[in-house]
Chain A
Amino acid sequence: MADTRTITVTVNGKVYQREVETRLTLVDFLRHELELTGTHVGCEHGVCGACTVLIGGASTRACLMLAVQCDGESISTVEGLATGEQLNPLQQAFQDNHGLQCGFCTPGMLMTLTEFLREHPAPTEIEVRKALSGNLCRCTGYQSIVAAALDAAQRIREGA
Chain B
Amino acid sequence: MRCGLPALLCGALALGLAGCGEGEGVDDGDRELTVLAAASLTGTFTELAAAFEEAHPGVSVRLAFDSSATLASQAVQGAPADVLATADAATMQDAVAGGAVPDGARTFATNTMTLVVPADNPAGLATFADLDAPGVDYVLCVETAPCGAVGATLLAAAGIDAAPASLETDVKAVLAKVAADEADAGLVYVTDATAAGEAVATIDVPDADAEVLDYPIGVLEQAGDADLAREFVDLVVSAEGRAILTRAGFGVP
Q: Do A and B come from one complex?
A: no
Q: Name B residues whose Cβ lies closer than 8 Å to a Cβ of A.
A: none
